[in-house]
Structure 1
Amino acid sequence: MMFTQLFTSLLLFALPFLILTIIRRTSKSQKSASSPPNIPKSYPIIGSYFAIKSNRENRVQWTTEILQSSPSATFTLHNLFGSRQIFTANPANVQHMLKTHFLNYHKGPFSRDVLFDFLGHGIFNVDGESWKFQRQVSSHEFNTKSLRKFVQTVVDTELHDRLIPMLFDAVVDKSVLDLQDILQRFAFDNVCKIAFGFDPACLLPSLPSAQFAEAFEDATDISSRRFRAFLSIAWKIKRFFNVGSEKRFHTAVTQVRDFARKIVREKKQELADNSSLESIDLLSRFLTSGHTDENFATDIVISFILAGRDTTSAALTWFFWLLHKNPEVEKEILKEIKGKSGMPVFEEVKDMVYTHAALCECMRLYPPVPLDSKTAVDDDILPDGTVVKKGTAVTYHPYAMGRMEKIWGSDWAEFKPERWLQRDEAGKWSFAGRDPYTYPVFQAGPRVCLGKEMAFLQMKRVVSGVLRQFKVVPAVEDGFEPSLVVYLTSKMKGGFPVRMEEREDLG
């Protein structure tokens, strides 16, 4: 026993020196080897630990720069103890993963493990039959009738009864608003109304402190930190002992799940009291489909709040910033809004072609979900020749793809809605979309986002309703550039402070 302890102590003492020796020797051999610029060096045992550590807080931008310099727009990142993660911004690889070889690329055990405490068996954290069932039931919520109802009742009511009056008050008071927070509240109210028939009333004039919303923010933040941990065992140990960030996470998830469970129980009671409800929302569909398990229904509620609250609000936050930076685009949108005056609400937003293009352009540069990972079920080879071993995480990178000169040309850094448009013989704009593997902002293939059309309609209605009456002016110093911070979705670091000015130049 004493010999074993002595040997272990000597090994632990000598290990750092052994690793440093290997690094020095490997560095010398790698100096002569030709490798693409920006690709981090990899060493035995520790992989690219030092590069990963130094770029931990700007991982999205760092991996983007590497992909931009890679001839195939793909590279392999070596983690500790021989594990690997493949990043790609190659449309052929994306199509291979999301469509052609869809069955070989699952969420995988790592992703499920990281998110299970938060999302459970919800649609965004499962594969196979459970995913198929949830998608099939959810799809009924996105037909034309439901979309029309969503825009004409839910979104329009929230817009006119809450958002617009709040913005008018800000004009009168000359106050500064955090537009990111306002848009999150707006989206949260909307998704709860349409999906669960429940109004949380987060967007009241008093901007009530929403314990659930704050807990939801904590849960998404700490979940994303789990993904970035060097070793899963680190957060698992903290979870086991309920200390540090995992203690906060446990508290936040408990609050989120209690809130979601309350919605489920109230909906169950509502259905029991009146089995012939005229308005059938998403949660009602699940509960009447034979799946009445409370935990499963709670997982569904949380997943759809995540999808509906954080994605559209993130896109709109960056959209209003880009409009401020590009007044000529705002001018074109105002012309379009003026030309649609008097039309029924649903037809107005459906036909806003230039605004639709501007939103696509915004999400090209700032996709709400900047990267997404799948895990290979079996060995595979990507179209660009990259070898994928069973169990390897392959991450496609929408943020990087929106910044690839090979895809968008030398003017990729410019905010140009016109790249999504073409004029007919009469000079009228028509939308010219890109294939979903070049622009995978809404995923693609069998898992393409069901709520894509709903998201665009909601965003266009907000843009039309706000810009028709107000000019959004960032309350920041000259030269300020916002920073991207990534949780499970992308956000503007520190929020988006703005002043509202009443518009007088639009009839």
Structure 2
Amino acid sequence: MDTILMLFSVAAVTSAYLIWFYFLARKLTGPKVWPVVGSLPLLFMNRRRIHDWMAGNLRSTGGAATYQTCTIALPFLARKQGFYTVTCHPKNIEHILRTRFDNYPKGPTWQAAFHDLLGQGIFNSDGDTWLIQRKTAALEFTTRTLRQAMARWVSRTIKTRLWRILEKASEENISVDLQDLLLRLTFDNICGLTFGKDPETLSPDLPENPFAISFDSATEATLQRLLYPGFLWRLKKIFGVGAEMRLKKSLEIVETYMSDVFTARQETPSDDLLSRFMKKRDVDGNFFPSSVLKRIALNFVLAGRDTSSVALSWFFWLVMNNPQVEEKIIDEISTVLRDTRGEDRHSWIEEPLVFDEADRLVYLKAALAETLRLYPSVPEDFKYVVSDDVLPDGTQVPAGSTVTYSIYSVGRMKTIWGEDCLEFKPERWLSTAGNRFEPPKDGLSLVPGHRVEQKMSLTLFLKNGLHVYLHPRVLAAPGVATSA
């Protein structure tokens, strides 16, 4: 009798769950979901191509550009922690980032996952803490201070280090990993701007930098925390296995480096970003403690290093594969340099471009904008829903759930960019006359066999780097074909 009663109870509970799951699944518009595990199997299967997988799901919605799914198909969790709304609808993104900004903070899931690495830095804070950092950074990154930083750090590094490395590779006909060189360039520059310290990772012998390596490792390990339910990474952290073990070891190296930098700035304050924050007070009127200051600085290293180098890597890859675009860029640069530096072509390459010269490179700016359209440095972002809301396209988002907006997918929607949305076409950013940048309503060749793929990371790295051979170019008068 007890056995029959138990079997009946199990059957009743199972039937009730399946009925509940049936009605839940009917409302979901994203990838297929299964009982209990939701869409986690598909997420796991596509983890190495997550951005294209999301874009494919969004394209399959037609003009809706929004879908909803759940990763944990259990009562309560399915409408809270496991419920995801993914969108690339422009009006929805504007709603999330501007109209109802206060309703969409980073939230507890993101903050818990990134706390060990980013602490209360700008990428992992909300409200007043975020606002103070944003205002301070805005004062630092003005046109004037950025131009000073360019003169002090960037131009010098390009001329005395990057150019020499590229020239040597060209003369000896050896390949270089352009993404690695650009990462070293931006890392050295952002460390100078943030700490007032140049680690000189971009040197002829390309030295290994423990901080840079550990920082990369920690970022990748932290990102994995977002892909799966929180209890999984917490268990791995308790037992010190897998990615959590790598994260712990990497953070120890990062912490040692940041402590040394902070001590140096305490002894000799300068005009760098860390020194500025050391003079600031938090929302309670107190100076930021050292632990917070170190994480604030680390956030800016993440922002300044990865995003710029990743964008430039994709830019060079696209230009290499579109020779007609390359020819237009070179022609424009030659036109500007002849006008500003005269007919002596040797003087054209003696010094890096200055701001006034760069401002005139309209087509180059359009090509960079087109690169970011197709390969945005930060392809996705996640937001927590504080209160029930309805997005502009009519999608209902429940409190406690997550909204992911996919910038990567925005650039791949025919409904936004037209049938040629996957083409690299800088002209779409230019005025009809082609002489003005209007947002729309040296030679390189890839190493044979080198595969260009996306890497699963916070920023859109090229998984295997960008290995290229460099060919010297003789700049000619504008409009005259040149040979590499």
Q: TM-score range by the shorter chain?
A: 0.7 to 0.9
1:94 matched to which residue of 2?
93
1:331 matched to which residue of 2?
327
Match for residue 74 of structure 1 among 66, 71, 74: 66
1:475 aligns with 2:447: yes
The alpha-carbon deviation at position 24 of structure 1 amounts to: 12
Does 402-411 or 234-243 show the bigger shift? 234-243
1:245 matched to which residue of 2?
243
Counterpart CA distance in 2 for 1:225 and 1:334 is: 41
Whether the 8 Å CA contact 2:428–2:440 is kept in 1: the answer is no
2:346 matched to which residue of 1?
none
1:301 matched to which residue of 2?
297
Counterpart CA distance in 1 for 2:200 and 2:14 is: 57
The alpha-carbon deviation at position 481 of structure 1 amounts to: 5.1
Does 191-200 or 202-211 show the bigger shift? 191-200
Deviations 1:128-147 (A, max 9, x none): 11111111111111222112
1:236 aligns with 2:234: yes
Whether the 8 Å CA contact 2:447–2:468 is kept in 1: the answer is yes
Write out aligned runs for 1:50-129 (5 A): 50-70=41-61, 71-80=63-72, 81=74, 82=78, 83-129=82-128
Whether the 8 Å CA contact 1:476–1:497 is kept in 2: the answer is no
1:403 aligns with 2:412: yes
1:289 aligns with 2:280: yes
Which SS does the other structure have where 1:317 is aligned?
helix
Letter in 2 for 1:239: K
2:163 matched to which residue of 1?
164
Whether the 8 Å CA contact 1:257–1:302 is kept in 2: the answer is no
Counterpart CA distance in 1 for 2:321 and 2:87 is: 30
The alpha-carbon deviation at position 484 of structure 1 amounts to: 1.0
Match for residue 439 of structure 2 among 433, 449, 453: 433
Match for residue 454 of structure 2 among 476, 484, 505: 484
1:462 matched to which residue of 2?
none
1:259 aligns with 2:253: no
Counterpart CA distance in 1 for 2:67 and 2:327 is: 41
Which SS does the other structure have where 2:86 is aligned?
strand
Match for residue 376 of structure 2 among 367, 371, 376: 367
Counterpart CA distance in 2 for 1:207 and 1:175 is: 15
Which SS does the other structure have where 1:413 is aligned?
coil
Counterpart CA distance in 1 for 2:419 and 2:146 is: 38
Counterpart CA distance in 1 for 2:471 and 2:101 is: 49
The alpha-carbon deviation at position 434 of structure 1 amounts to: 4.7
Counterpart CA distance in 1 for 2:96 and 2:213 is: 35
Match for residue 387 of structure 1 among 384, 396, 411: 396
Which SS does the other structure have where 1:215 is aligned?
helix
Deviations 1:467-504 (A, max 9, x none): 2xxx2211133xx6521112111111111111111112
Does 285-294 or 371-380 show the bigger shift? 285-294
Whether the 8 Å CA contact 1:151–1:345 is kept in 2: the answer is no
| CA distance 1:243–1:481, shift in 2 (3 Å) | closer
Stretches of 4+ moved more than 4 A in 1?
18-30, 33-36
2:428 matched to which residue of 1?
419
| CA distance 1:503–1:390, shift in 2 (3 Å) | same
The alpha-carbon deviation at position 399 of structure 1 amounts to: 0.5
Scaled by the length of structure 1, what TM-score is found?
A: 0.83
The alpha-carbon deviation at position 351 of structure 1 amounts to: 2.4
Write out aligned runs for 1:210-229 (5 A): 210-229=209-228
Which SS does the other structure have where 1:372 is aligned?
strand
1:378 aligns with 2:387: yes
1:49 aligns with 2:19: no
Letter in 2 for 1:238: K
Letter in 1 for 2:184: R
The alpha-carbon deviation at position 29 of structure 1 amounts to: 12
| CA distance 1:23–1:414, shift in 2 (3 Å) | farther
| CA distance 1:35–1:303, shift in 2 (3 Å) | closer
Counterpart CA distance in 1 for 2:127 and 2:16 is: 47
Which SS does the other structure have where 2:471 is aligned?
strand
- Equivalent residue pairs, number: 445
The alpha-carbon deviation at position 293 of structure 1 amounts to: 1.6
Does 251-260 or 180-189 show the bigger shift? 251-260
Whether the 8 Å CA contact 2:28–2:67 is kept in 1: the answer is no
Counterpart CA distance in 1 for 2:236 and 2:425 is: 46
The alpha-carbon deviation at position 423 of structure 1 amounts to: 4.0
Counterpart CA distance in 1 for 2:65 and 2:189 is: 38
Which SS does the other structure have where 2:93 is aligned?
helix
The alpha-carbon deviation at position 67 of structure 1 amounts to: 0.4
| CA distance 1:234–1:397, shift in 2 (3 Å) | same
Whether the 8 Å CA contact 1:362–1:415 is kept in 2: the answer is yes
Deviations 1:166-223 (A, max 9, x none): 0011112221111111110000011111222110100010000111111011011111
The alpha-carbon deviation at position 157 of structure 1 amounts to: 0.4
Let me know the Cα RMSD of the aligned residues.
2.7
Counterpart CA distance in 2 for 1:362 and 1:249 is: 32
Does 287-296 or 367-376 show the bigger shift? 287-296
Counterpart CA distance in 2 for 1:351 and 1:139 is: 25
Whether the 8 Å CA contact 2:451–2:464 is kept in 1: the answer is no
Which SS does the other structure have where 1:422 is aligned?
coil
Which SS does the other structure have where 2:47 is aligned?
coil
Does 336-345 or 282-291 show the bigger shift? 336-345
Whether the 8 Å CA contact 1:196–1:282 is kept in 2: the answer is yes
Q: Which runs of 5+ in 1 are unaligned?
A: 272-276, 436-466
The alpha-carbon deviation at position 292 of structure 1 amounts to: 4.7
The alpha-carbon deviation at position 228 of structure 1 amounts to: 1.0
| CA distance 1:77–1:35, shift in 2 (3 Å) | closer
Quote the sequence identity (%). 36
1:503 matched to which residue of 2?
473
Letter in 2 for 1:78: C
| CA distance 1:386–1:27, shift in 2 (3 Å) | closer
